[in-house]
Amino acid sequence: MPHVRVTRNLQRHVTCPPQDVAGDTVRAALDAYFELAPDARGYVLDEHGGLRKHMAVFVNGTLIGDRSTLSDPIDERDTIDIMQALSGG
């Protein structure tokens, strides 16, 4: 199952531990993750479900291409990192 990790800086605000989740796209995996950590959703995604402007999502160390609908495909052995962009601070 894809593994999701979240920046420690977000863990200061809400509970969001690393989790293995199901899903074959970034969207599906993050939806599954936010089922487990619902308070984190609004900190990562905006009100329309897109990635917040100053957040970054990596799959195996590579930035995703689709920040709006999160349609990038993923494999069950992939690791998704939810990070802050260096902008926005």
Partner 1 sequence: MADQLLVATRKGLFTVSRRSGGWAVDDVAFLGDNCPIVMHDPRDDALYAGLSHGHFGNKMHRSDDGCTTWTEISTPAFPEMPEGYEPPVNPMTGKVIPWKLKLLWALEPGGADNVGRLWAGTIPGGLFRSDDRGETWTLNRPLWDDPRRNEWFGGGYDEPGIHSIAVDPRDADHVVVGVSCGGVWITQDAGASWTLGGKDMRAEYMPPERAFDPTIQDPHLIATCADHPDVMWVQHHNGLFRSSDAGVSWTELACETPSSFGFAVSAHPHDPNTAWFVPAVKDELRYPTDGKLVVTRTRDAGASFEVLTEGLPQDHAYDLVYRHAMDIDETGDTLAFGSTTGNLWLTSDGGDHWASISSHLPPIYAVRFIKRG
Residue with smaller CB distance to partner 1, 20 or 67: 67
Give, for 25, the enclosing helix (H) or strand (E).
Answer: none
Here's the x/- map for partner 1, 44-83, by CB under 8 A: it reads as x-xxx---x-xx----------------------------
Closest residue by Cα to residue 19 from 30, 11, 8: 30
Chosen residue from 20, 32, 67, 84 binding partner 1 by CB under 8 A: 84
Q: What's the angle, vertex CA 44, arms to CA 40 and CA 48, rounded to 5?
A: 110
Sign of CA pseudo-dihedral 72, 26, 24, 80: positive
Residue with smaller CB distance to partner 1, 35 or 54: 54
10 is a site residue for partner 1 (CB under 8 A)? yes
Residue with smaller CB distance to partner 1, 11 or 71: 11
Give, for 41, the enclosing helix (H) or strand (E).
Answer: helix 41-44
